[in-house]
Amino acid sequence: MLIDSHCHLDYFAEPGEQAEVIARAMAAGVGEMVTIGVTFEKSKQAIEIAEKFDNVWACVGVHPNHAADVTPVVEPEALAALANHRKVIGIGETGLDYFYDHAPKDFQQQNFRANIRAAQLSGLPLCIHARDADDDVARILREERAQGGEFPFLLHCFSSSLELAQAALEMGGYISFSGMITFPKGQNVRDVAVQIPLDRLLVETDSPYLAPVPQRGKRNEPAFTAHTAKYLSNLKGLSEESLAELTTSNFRTLFKKARFGEARFGEAV
């Protein structure tokens, strides 16, 4: 079984569409998925979606592109309170994005630190978006770990430098690869992927964005995790079954709250 460690199911908003998307994922061997919040309000929506489906988890956080939508930035305690829900397994996505100009850098950094603090308060792993901001992402991670204590984290949809990947690995972080690894122009991502230890790998779609080859041009969805996983298995010299087992095990190790049976049958997690 594969797990899509990062998707945005709220974008599948037509009546009955989420159930159809999830059914297609399961038919493709993707048994679980994590729907991600990008604002405080959308994080609540992520929880509502996770409540409706046994095999969907949620993360709550504020994306860097939304860091200045509401000021002051979200309080860590408010995010940590949302994270008390039994289906919430992580904080994020958050991080830094200097490619776009949707929020000033100082707001992004304040927001990133607030989300980190929420991860420290909740004890849940942090899901990090990093784009054209490698040095500041690594610096802030080190500073916040030194000040407030270590916390598990994941660099999602990895497209950054080998140097950031190495810094993350040194801090105990995990790396997740999306359909970008299959793109003709994705050689830099592939070059990093071959160097990531097997016990730190995850897979994702970031759907509805970044559909992998051979689905380029289509709206991405969790079922397409299988294409990314197949490509990554070839890149790492593994069978598809071994890659699925490996990434699912890594997911459980990182997202310790994601104990499928307990959440499925309504017990406390």
Domain that holds residue 222: 2-264
What confidence tens digit (pLDDT) does each residue in 238-261 have?
999 999 999 999 999 999 999 754
CATH number of the domain enclosing 244: 3.20.20.140
49 is a domain residue:
yes
Cβ proximity of 9 and 35 under 8 Å: yes
Count CB atoms within 10 A of the CB of residue 268.
6
What confidence tens digit (pLDDT) does each residue in 99-130 have?
998 999 999 999 999 999 999 999 999 999 99
What confidence tens digit (pLDDT) does each residue in 154-185 have?
999 999 999 999 999 999 999 999 999 999 99
21 is a domain residue:
yes
Please, which residues bridge with residue 57 across strands? 34
Report whether pLDDT(264) > 80: no
177 is a domain residue:
yes
Please give the Cα distance from 216 to 15 (Å, whole number).
25
The SS3 assignment for 30 reads strand
174 is a domain residue:
yes
61 is a domain residue:
yes
Cβ proximity of 7 and 36 under 8 Å: yes
269 is a domain residue:
no
Residues 6+ apart with CB under 8 A from 47: 58, 60, 82, 85, 87, 88
Name the domain count of the chain: 1
